Structure 1
């Protein structure tokens, strides 16, 4: 399916509103870090609390996943958006209180994240299930969503930086105030645009057990990707600081998002005949090759070029994870999608923490040694059988791949 046909498949407002609705997710971590450091004067406290917030985002994603298929993504998206507005307001108000109140408020902000990205992907899955005559809708939609995600992670931190500089004398509170505005002006309307779940067929029930083995494999894959993000983020920041140009860290990390956005758009043009399992293995192999180049960045190769290439390998791997997750449990796609996406922030927090230790112990180049190891683990994970089971899912959008007719059933 072309992007033009994708735009015709749903309301056009989904695209601009959906983009602005996901910006708070990209802005809140950095905005929280700035607010906490400005309020307490402690980078250690701000960093530790930001990590706790990331873990809360992951835990909140699991809770959202458990509720999504029961309450409906419209109601849940609306409730979580309003709850996040209240939590952000509480965090801003907690600046007059002590550190325990600030930490608790920041964690609550993470736990109430509206999970816009996962729920939009569920929207596309529901839409595709109601339109079986339009093959390729999910693949094209997931490709677009990957590009939109990366664009938001380029624009979000940039907006935070601009507001922090421009909105004096209260720069620390400006980014989170902007998040509140975006939640009310975009996330709430976006929740009302979500597609409702299709009626299950007699052979499908919303209470069917989740495929635990496949779900665990996809959570592990997403956590690995999150850890790669975290280590690269710390690595480029440490590299820029060591070069006496701290501002360059943001630009270097933006190159990762730019490369991923371009690859995400191009992913939709892959021939439909390429099996999902093959895509999974090839994308993981590509990720490993790209990550192996990272340690050479800034020494034998320009770091910005190496990070850009790394970004190009990111989107195909992520899109394939989303596609497999969408097929794991067709009648509980909201649950599986939000749970798997929730593993990303957990991996990011772990990657940031470990990379920070490596910087202090071994220098600014040490974090770049982690992504190749993580990518090798991701490639090894593709050998597990749950992916074959996902290919055999009874999803209305799934096609049985050659050679998988006798694959084992979902766990």
Structure 2
């Protein structure tokens, strides 16, 4: 019933367009890896280019968020979609030149990546408050988490299929999606009132730096788990003699997360957001420990399915908490700062797990996940205890707006 009510708010066409709009982000890292490796003949250099893209994305996302808060979502989404299409076109051209130009183009493609996730989440919040339906915001965030997870399953699969047509095909497809889906989706977003944009440009409300930093670190911990799992699964598949099975294991992980994200829409309202945050941080740790046990017991596919269920609920809690703690006129930049922790954490997880794989095999890579998850749980407990000591209750998004 909750999803049926949500469907009537923006119209049915909003959902498929929004899903297609996020596919360029879901395909970008792997597409860049495929293109640069084919052009340079080096996996090491291709990994460097993908890392440059991810780090540049982490740096560029808050800039795009600031642009959105100050000048409107429609303008920010349009500018970044066109700029990213141009940067990816430059990457295709650079693949016929030298390594320096490829590295530069990869970084530019990360810097200009449209922040579809933060833009659409703030759009939902504003739209549902305007329709006097703030009760549907958790449902909207659950849907968005589900769409994110499905895109991260579909994106790599799409790259794999298109690579058969040539190494440039996945990047060309991403360019086409930016123009045909991300750009129209950006144009459909609420630009925001003139008064709101004027006040945002004139005197911006300060961001709550310490709470936002905590959310950034929490997302980085999640990214570290992603990086460790990606590296561990790849190593496990190679060790087992079935390298092609890595994609299937990723899919199991993503599908489990997507189903759990969709189910979050039915959580009872008395289960408060901060309690959800601590609870889902604890289940994230249990999921990470399951991966370690599953690798050692040679039942990793089952462990991936169990661990995947713990991911989306934790991410939904982070998005919802960040949306609540941010001032109304700076919600987009707050969410983009949150999201910036993801690629930085993923790069960290991949580096640590790669180091351990060389020495201990896939088992070493999976050990990174529970360490990161334990840090996430400790941070969650600290955040909730600090908030309770400071206020004694939970802030209300309704009163804030």
Structure 1 length-normalised TM: 0.91
Report the alpha carbon displacement of residue 117 of structure 1 after superposing the two structures with TM.
Answer: 1.4
* Contact 1:123/1:196, CA 8 A, preserved across alignment: no
Deviates more, 1:348-357 or 1:316-325: 348-357
Runs of 5+ in structure 1 lacking a partner?
Answer: 400-411
Report the alpha carbon displacement of residue 197 of structure 1 after superposing the two structures with TM.
Answer: 3.1
Report the alpha carbon displacement of residue 136 of structure 1 after superposing the two structures with TM.
Answer: 2.1
Q: Secondary structure at the match of 2:117?
A: helix
Q: Secondary structure at the match of 2:114?
A: coil
Report the alpha carbon displacement of residue 62 of structure 1 after superposing the two structures with TM.
Answer: 1.8
- Larger relative helix fraction: 2
1:235-279 Cα offsets, whole Å, 9 max, x none, are: 000100111211111111111110100000000000011111111
Distance in 1 separating the partners of 2:130 and 2:333: 19
User: Of the candidates 223, 226, 238, which is equivalent to residue 226 of structure 1?
Assistant: 223
Report whether the alignment pairs 1:214 with 2:211.
yes
Match of 1:404 in 2: none
* Contact 1:144/1:264, CA 8 A, preserved across alignment: yes
Aligned-residue RMSD, C-alpha: 2.0
1:102-136 Cα offsets, whole Å, 9 max, x none, are: 100001001110111111111111112313x3242
Distance in 2 separating the partners of 1:196 and 1:308: 40
Distance in 2 separating the partners of 1:342 and 1:58: 4
Match of 1:144 in 2: 143
Deviates more, 1:360-369 or 1:146-155: 360-369
Distance in 2 separating the partners of 1:238 and 1:375: 21
Q: Tell me: CA distance 1:395–1:356, structure 2 relative to 1, closer, same or farther (3 Å).
A: same
Distance in 1 separating the partners of 2:190 and 2:266: 25
After superposition, residues 86-101 of structure 1 pair within 5 angstroms as: 86-101=86-101
Match of 2:172 in 1: 177
Match of 1:55 in 2: 55
Report whether the alignment pairs 1:302 with 2:308.
no
1:180-206 Cα offsets, whole Å, 9 max, x none, are: 110011000000111233666xx9996
Deviates more, 1:78-87 or 1:250-259: 250-259
Deviates more, 1:305-314 or 1:58-67: 58-67
Distance in 2 separating the partners of 1:206 and 1:353: 41
Match of 2:162 in 1: 163
Runs of 5+ in structure 2 lacking a partner?
Answer: none
Match of 1:107 in 2: 107
Q: How many residues align?
A: 393
Q: Tell me: CA distance 1:397–1:260, structure 2 relative to 1, closer, same or farther (3 Å).
A: farther
* Contact 2:278/2:377, CA 8 A, preserved across alignment: yes
Q: Tell me: CA distance 1:398–1:276, structure 2 relative to 1, closer, same or farther (3 Å).
A: farther
User: Of the candidates 256, 261, 276, which is equivalent to residue 253 of structure 2?
Assistant: 256
1:17-65 Cα offsets, whole Å, 9 max, x none, are: 0000100101111000001110111011111111111111111112112
Match of 1:18 in 2: 18
* Contact 2:66/2:330, CA 8 A, preserved across alignment: no
4+ runs deviating over 6 angstroms = 203-206
* Contact 2:223/2:342, CA 8 A, preserved across alignment: yes
Match of 1:37 in 2: 37
* Contact 1:392/1:398, CA 8 A, preserved across alignment: no
Report the alpha carbon displacement of residue 66 of structure 1 after superposing the two structures with TM.
Answer: 2.3
Distance in 2 separating the partners of 1:190 and 1:135: 23
